[in-house]
């Protein structure tokens, strides 16, 4: 039977270029997608861009471009970055594509006919740059609680979505489905929010006269769709919903949304309600990860400390960046990005542990056996090999898979590094040069063969994290020969 895996990143706003925050979710999703592909799952990995709304319109106007010209200009920046980071997405959706607009309009029309959308008058405080409405209670001194710029009082006729009617259903759903929102702390946050607040119906349109850059409501062309209502639907429009039944039936509702913690409510409250209203099950799981800050500071354009992934990979390499993001901080927690921490991981885990193991083992294979890969004879392994190494080789795949199924990237890497560490220790304790001196050729063969078997599984299991390194290792270890190349991770001089 086919197993299906559908994983998504948020679709990114295009009024800036990709930064470490975007790269983080995308690399995490790529790692999971690659691991699932290795396991024979039918995988659909979706990313894309969120192109409507005030901010994009403004950014385009500042450059003297139409919004679509502006978007067309920026998209290659995203696609190139993902290519450079070895991101293997299956689909890249843009909210300006016809396939997306069709699905959004289907949602709107369905909800309208059902009576879940009604025309009302919106009066509220609005922050233009953030595109967010605030309540009187939230606003102090007439300033936006987020960006601290002045808000405006707006009064206009708009369509409202009766989300209040779904609050009890959602609360029960989240209570009954402990795996829907992950990690636990975020689940509690959503439950707390739903228990303590009464949901207000959501204003899901904007008058075209105020904001022209959006998807028109099919039943009222004078209005365009609120960006969040538009954006969330990308996860279904990419499947060709409702026209393409086969894709939808394969990949829904197994879908997993990876998101940052700041957009949890949209994904765990608004989105399941939108789906429920059109008669679709919620996705399987929403995982909200933490935020990266840079040194002591929050990352922000105004502080000028935004980390561009392309600069990091130019300086240190792609795989170390991918490795660092997934190894340094438990997925779900906030983290601190610094070059010093990255160099420490590079010199320690990568150069000392992994790089050394491969280099030493291949050096020995060349020295003792002229590059031939000796046959492994499990029955006559020495004690360390039998007790400490072979069981780890046999268990590694299950351990990595189990950890990744829980989004525990660190536990997966720990399982791999446990074997690497044991193998390095094996070399130190066995003292192969003595075996050679004593003419214990059979023992020496088995020792090298076991190390190579270990490196082979390591290469396979690290592939989702460090695809390039995995390939480099595989190219040095053929079926029956090794061809040593230069060290995988030449140490970085800290001075």
- Residue whose pair of structure tokens reads 């601290």 in the numeric block: 148
349 lines the binding site for ligand MSP (CB under 6 A)? no
CB 73 within 8 A of CB 49: no
Nearer Cβ to ligand MSP (12/359): 12
Contact residue for ligand MSP among 259, 329, 416, 457 (CB under 6 A): 259
Residues 404 and 425: their CA atoms lie apart, in Å, by 27
Nearer Cβ to ligand MSP (167/266): 266
The minimum distance between CB 300 and ligand MSP, in angstroms, equals: 9
In degrees rounded to 5, what are phi and psi of residue 297? -110, 155
Helical residues (DSSP H) of 140-252, grouped into ranges: 167-176, 184-196, 227-232, 234-237, 245-251
Nearer Cβ to ligand MSP (22/100): 22
Which of 204, 168, 408, 179 lies closest to 282, judged by CA? Answer: 179
Q: Name the residue with the smallest CB distance to ligand MSP.
A: 260
299 lines the binding site for ligand MSP (CB under 6 A)? yes
Residues 22 and 332: their CA atoms lie apart, in Å, by 15
Residues 54 and 466: their CA atoms lie apart, in Å, by 38
Helical residues (DSSP H) of 197-333, grouped into ranges: 227-232, 234-237, 245-251, 264-265, 271-278, 309-316, 318-328
291 lines the binding site for ligand MSP (CB under 6 A)? yes
286 lines the binding site for ligand MSP (CB under 6 A)? no
Nearer Cβ to ligand MSP (24/251): 24
Nearer Cβ to ligand MSP (257/392): 257
- Contact positions with ligand MSP (CB under 6 A) in 229-248: 231-232, 234
292 lines the binding site for ligand MSP (CB under 6 A)? yes
- Contact positions with ligand MSP (CB under 6 A) in 1-30: 10-13, 21-22, 24-25
Site string for ligand MSP, 43-62 (x = CB under 6 A): -------x------------
Residues 125 and 135: their CA atoms lie apart, in Å, by 6
Q: How many residues bind ligand MSP (CB under 6 A)?
A: 19
The three-class DSSP label of residue 43 is: strand
262 lines the binding site for ligand MSP (CB under 6 A)? yes
Can you give the binding site for ligand MSP, defined by CB under 6 A?
10-13, 21-22, 24-25, 50, 231-232, 234, 259-260, 262-263, 291-292, 299
């Amino acid at each position: 039977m086919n197993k299906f895996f559908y994983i998504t990143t948020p679709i990114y706003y295009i009024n800036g270029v990709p930064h470490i925050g975007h790269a983080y979710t995308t690399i995490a999703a790529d790692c999971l997608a690659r691991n699932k592909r290795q396991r024979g799952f039918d995988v659909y990995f979706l990313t894309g861009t969120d192109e409507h709304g005030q901010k994009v319109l403004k950014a385009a106007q500042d450059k003297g471009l139409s919004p679509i010209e502006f978007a067309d200009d920026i998209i290659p920046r995203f696609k190139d970055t993902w290519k450079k980071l070895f991101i293997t997405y299956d689909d890249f959706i843009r909210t300006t594509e016809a396939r997306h607009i069709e699905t959004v309009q289907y949602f709107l029309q369905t909800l309208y006919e059902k009576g879940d959308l009604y025309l009302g008058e919106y009066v509220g405080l609005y922050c233009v740059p953030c595109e967010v409405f605030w309540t009187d209670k939230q606003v102090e001194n007439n300033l936006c609680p987020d960006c601290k710029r002045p808000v405006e009082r707006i009064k206009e006729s708009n369509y409202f979505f009766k989300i209040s009617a779904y609050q009890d259903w959602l609360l029960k759903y989240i209570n009954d489905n402990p795996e829907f929102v992950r990690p636990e702390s975020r689940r509690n946050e959503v439950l707390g929010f739903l228990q303590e607040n009464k949901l207000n119906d959501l204003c899901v349109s904007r008058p075209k006269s105020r904001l022209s850059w959006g998807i028109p409501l099919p039943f009222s062309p004078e209005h365009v769709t609120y960006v969040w209502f538009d954006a969330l639907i990308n996860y279904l429009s990419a499947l060709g919903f409702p026209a393409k039944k086969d894709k939808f039936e394969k990949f829904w509702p197994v879908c997993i949304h990876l998101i940052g913690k700041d957009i949890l409510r949209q994904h765990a409250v608004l989105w399941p309600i939108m789906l429920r209203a059109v008669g679709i099950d919620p996705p399987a799981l929403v995982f909200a990860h933490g935020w990266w800050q840079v040194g002591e500071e929050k990352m922000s354009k105004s502080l000028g400390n935004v980390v561009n992934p392309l600069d990091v990979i130019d300086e240190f390499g792609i795989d170390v960046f991918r490795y660092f993001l997934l190894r340094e901080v438990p997925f779900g927690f906030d983290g601190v990005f610094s070059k010093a921490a990255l160099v420490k991981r590079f010199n320690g885990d990568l150069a000392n542990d992994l790089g050394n193991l491969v280099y030493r083992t291949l050096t020995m294979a060349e020295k003792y056996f002229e590059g031939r890969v000796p046959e492994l004879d499990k029955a006559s392994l020495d004690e360390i090999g039998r007790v400490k190494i072979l069981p780890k080789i046999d268990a590694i795949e299950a351990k990595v898979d189990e950890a990744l199924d829980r989004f525990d990237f660190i536990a997966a890497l720990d399982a791999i590094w446990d074997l690497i560490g044991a193998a390095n220790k094996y070399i130190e304790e066995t003292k192969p040069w003595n075996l050679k001196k004593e003419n214990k050729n059979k023992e020496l063969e088995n020792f090298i063969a076991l190390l190579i078997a270990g490196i082979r599984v390591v290469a396979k299991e690290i592939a989702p994290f460090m695809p390039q390194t995995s390939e480099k290792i595989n190219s040095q270890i053929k079926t029956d020969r090794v061809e040593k190349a230069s060290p995988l991770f030449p140490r970085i001089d800290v001075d």
